[in-house]
Amino acid sequence: MPLRFTILATDRSSSARVGLIGTPHGSFETPAFLPVATRGTVKGLAPDELRSAGTRILLANAFHLMLRPGAEGVERLGGLHRFMAWPGPILTDSGGYQIHSLADINSLDDEGVTFRSVVDGRLVHMSPERSIEVQNALGADIIMAFDDCAPYESGGAGDRLRRAHERTLRWLDRSRAAHRRPQDQALFGIVQGGTDLDLRRASVEGVCNAGLPGYAVGGVAVGEEPRLIDAVVRFTVPLLPADRPRYVMGVGYERDIVAAVRAGADMFDCVLPTRNGRNGHAFTQDGRLHLRNARFLADQRPIEADCRCSTCAGGFSRGYLRHLFSTGEMLGPILVSLHNICHFHRLMLDIRQAIREDSWSSLARRWPVLDAEHAGDRVQSTTDHAP
Amino acid sequence: MPLRFTILATDRSSSARVGLIGTPHGSFETPAFLPVATRGTVKGLAPDELRSAGTRILLANAFHLMLRPGAEGVERLGGLHRFMAWPGPILTDSGGYQIHSLADINSLDDEGVTFRSVVDGRLVHMSPERSIEVQNALGADIIMAFDDCAPYESGGAGDRLRRAHERTLRWLDRSRAAHRRPQDQALFGIVQGGTDLDLRRASVEGVCNAGLPGYAVGGVAVGEEPRLIDAVVRFTVPLLPADRPRYVMGVGYERDIVAAVRAGADMFDCVLPTRNGRNGHAFTQDGRLHLRNARFLADQRPIEADCRCSTCAGGFSRGYLRHLFSTGEMLGPILVSLHNICHFHRLMLDIRQAIREDSWSSLARRWPVLDAEHAGDRVQSTTDHAP
């Protein structure tokens, strides 16, 4: 099996666990946060900066890379690791979600999806076979089954969700059959079912039958209210096999991550740190700063006083960052994205420490941004740990 | 005096010299290339990346910084060094050139210039006194006198050039009188005169009377033909005092720099590495690569095989860089700008070595991009040095 998952520590007060995932390109500890390198680059950041910020595994999108430069284009340049100059672990998303959220869909049936390329308008066909072919060519360490990710608006609308769930199961079988590199690429299945918990249970039963090296919860954080994200994650994650990595796709804010970890989740990806970073929104342990705001004009402080990221430790003041955003200078998005990624990696480090030390209340103290319930400080720890 | 200039080596076959300039924020060897941080940032690059690329001194623009965030804004954030988080030497340009090349001038007379701000349309007044006040507030190690930089189109048009030259002398006196930080900021004078060599001589005589710690040749590379740049630089530079740093402003391409060094110049600044970098034009010792070109689609090679910059040594292929430019990803401009800045610093390093070893022919071999005349390989060296 191309992926080894070892549980290193478990929490006494929840289903949280610390794990180690070994891949052909190195290992990483879980719970882990994956920055998003949509088109084979985390916007504005070089691999060595990501590594210094704490990144150990990246997510890239099969959907975007198949359009430009094409999976075969990446293959000609030595595969995705060499293409991106990122020697560590990589996960590719299958394109199921992107097709429904981004593409101009021409037709969708059991065979697959045909959509118009946003790049040049040509018709592109995507199916479980084609998605896996693309992901085999890209060569990521973890690849995702091709799923039918029903839009959230269809949530209550009759049988669209059920059909998506059933199709996802059929497409999982075809994804497995199409996979040509099981020796060095771990295929994860994706559980669908929207906000319908019965469907979620049925999806878990169908998907987890496959005996795969890992499982993901898809179709969350696709527009539904936060309490629904939480409800679906808390219900679904514990149903997944405990001896395999559990990946909650596209989540999320700090409190969502902590809640999912306590439900037993191990992996997360989200565009929040980079998307918000590009808009001048900085994450801190006390909440977000909107650095374009005039109140930062003469603020000599770093984004966060005790942060060791290269933005905060590098001497860049809030006033200077505001100047970079007001003048449209690239360095603003770069520096704030880097801080934000570091913020999420620090959260994961603190979470792993909280699990190892059975000390969720110290996490809640270090992260006032997490509200009491989600930070888990209702769970009193006996081995409290000062920050 | 806030600036110490020591000549470390002189060339036997030309007026070239290697020097060391000491400032309150550290020293740098000359001939030196200054990357341009127009608004207090070299576009897309953090200070530690610049330092690793070989940058020892940066140029920032008083004109742009007085408009945003305002000189007093920078001062409130601790002065320019702290603002930019660049602890090394900085030079600020006075704004004379920018006003003529960028601003919508409302009035220009002996008193000064009034122009409309491109930021908010308000009328802004600039005079020798205001320029020096701004530069005193910014706090760079080297500041420039406020000059009247006549547009090149006025080159042959009667007395505009002569008036600009005479005004520049009067404004130099006012710049000196206005300077409030002579103890830690070295004021350089600027020689004008356009392409009129008699005016250039008169300007040198007037400006160099001032007993300043350094002198610059301004008003070159403002739109005139390359042979005129060369003629003016070769004529003017040797007239400047040999015991002071000689700075040729806004120059330029590799061959222009080599020609100016051989005429005795010590300092250069230019936006070429960053502006071209943002457009996907990479400088190499064999000429420029246009990385958007389809021929790089499957090119696995770095920009330059023997380059030690973090772009080339970091494993980024030409094919990947092309992908970044075709998809509009920020990392493309960042990586190519960094390579280009490294390219110019490597040229300066090779030039300093050529001077120290009396070996211009080895420089010409390492830099085929320099044509025979400018690389100086007509001068046969006896101490040839293999690359």
What is the ipTM metric for this complex?
A: 0.95
- Tell me, yes or no, whether A196 and A302 share the same domain: no
Measured between CA atoms, how close is B138 to chain A, in angstroms? 14
Mean pLDDT of the A280-305 span: 98
- Tell me, yes or no, whether A102 and A210 share the same domain: yes
- Tell me, yes or no, whether B219 and B87 share the same domain: yes
Whether residue A354 has pLDDT greater than 90: yes
Contact, A56 vs A40, CB < 8 A? no
Whether residue A381 has pLDDT greater than 50: no
- Tell me, yes or no, whether B183 and B66 share the same domain: yes
- Tell me, yes or no, whether A254 and A371 share the same domain: no
Q: Which of B141, B256, B266, B269 is catalytic?
A: B269
- Tell me, yes or no, whether B265 and B297 share the same domain: no
- Tell me, yes or no, whether B247 and B294 share the same domain: no
Using DSSP, state whether B179 is helix, strand or coil. coil
The torsion defined by the Cα of B293, B294, B297 and B303, in degrees rounded to 10, comes to -20
Mean pLDDT of the A353-366 span: 94
Q: pLDDT-based confidence at A373, cuts 50/70/90?
A: low
Task: Assess whether B269 carries a catalytic annotation.
Answer: yes
Task: Give the C-alpha separation, A178 to A61, whole Å.
Answer: 19
What pLDDT sits at residue B154? 61
What pLDDT sits at residue B299? 98
Residues in chain B with CB shorter than 8 Å from the CB of A319 are: 69, 73, 76-77, 83
State which of B221, B242, B270 marks the end of a domain. B270
Q: In what order do the strands lie in the sheet with A123-126?
A: A104-108, A113-116, A123-126
Residues in chain B with CB shorter than 8 Å from the CB of A48 are: 310, 314
What pLDDT sits at residue B156? 53
- Quick check: pTM over 0.80? yes
Residues in chain B with CB shorter than 8 Å from the CB of A329 are: 39, 41, 43
> A190 — phi, psi (to 5°)?
-120, 125
State which of B270, B294, B322 marks the end of a domain. B270
- Tell me, yes or no, whether A233 and A102 share the same domain: yes
Q: Would you call A77 and B319 a contact, using CB atoms and an 8 Å cutoff?
A: yes
Contact, A48 vs B291, CB < 8 A? no
Residues contacting A201, CB < 8 A, separation 6+: A193, A235, A239
What pLDDT sits at residue A121? 92
State which of B270, B298, B328 marks the end of a domain. B270
Q: Which domain holds residue B351?
A: 272-387
Partnered with residue B34 across adjacent β-strands are: B269
First CA to last CA distance, chain B = 39
- Tell me, yes or no, whether A255 and A182 share the same domain: yes
**Helix, strand, coil abundance in chain A, percent, nearest 5:** 40, 20, 40
Mean pLDDT of the A330-338 span: 98
Q: Would you call B44 and A76 a contact, using CB atoms and an 8 Å cutoff?
A: no
Residues A2-16, buried b or exposed e (16+ Cβ, 10 A)? bbebeeeebbebbbb
Residues in chain B with CB shorter than 8 Å from the CB of A295 are: none
Measured between CA atoms, how close is A79 to chain B, in angstroms? 11
Q: pLDDT-based confidence at A160, cuts 50/70/90?
A: confident
What pLDDT sits at residue A177? 98
- Tell me, yes or no, whether B254 and B287 share the same domain: no
- Please give the tally of structural domains in chain B: 2
Q: pLDDT-based confidence at A105, cuts 50/70/90?
A: confident
Q: pLDDT-based confidence at A222, cuts 50/70/90?
A: confident
Residues in chain A with CB shorter than 8 Å from the CB of B310 are: 46, 48
Q: At residue B152, what is the residue type?
A: Y
Q: pLDDT-based confidence at A139, cuts 50/70/90?
A: very high
Q: Which of A256, A266, A269, A350 is catalytic?
A: A269
From the list B73, B83, B335, which residue is nearest A297 (CB)? Answer: B73
Asked if the peptide bond before residue A87 counts as cis, ω within 30 degrees of 0, the response is no
The CATH number of whichever domain residue B103 belongs to comes to 3.20.20.105
What pLDDT sits at residue A375? 53
Q: Would you call A323 and B68 a contact, using CB atoms and an 8 Å cutoff?
A: yes
Specify the pairing of strand B26-30 against strand A58-61: unpaired
- Tell me, yes or no, whether A280 and A264 share the same domain: no
Which chain A residue's Cα is nearest to B300?
A77
- Tell me, yes or no, whether A275 and A260 share the same domain: no
What pLDDT sits at residue A314? 97
Q: Mean pLDDT per 10-residue run, chain B (387 residues)? A: 94 97 98 98 98 98 97 97 98 92 87 93 95 98 95 68 94 98 98 94 97 96 89 97 98 95 98 98 97 98 97 98 98 98 98 96 92 50 33
Which chain B residue's Cα is nearest to A78?
B300
Task: Assess whether A269 carries a catalytic annotation.
Answer: yes
Q: Which chain A residues have any C-beta within 8 angstroms of a chain B C-beta?
A: 39-41, 43-48, 68-69, 73, 76-78, 82-85, 297-298, 300, 310, 314-317, 319-320, 322-324, 326-327, 329-331, 333-335
From the list B40, B68, B317, which residue is nearest A77 (CB)? Answer: B317
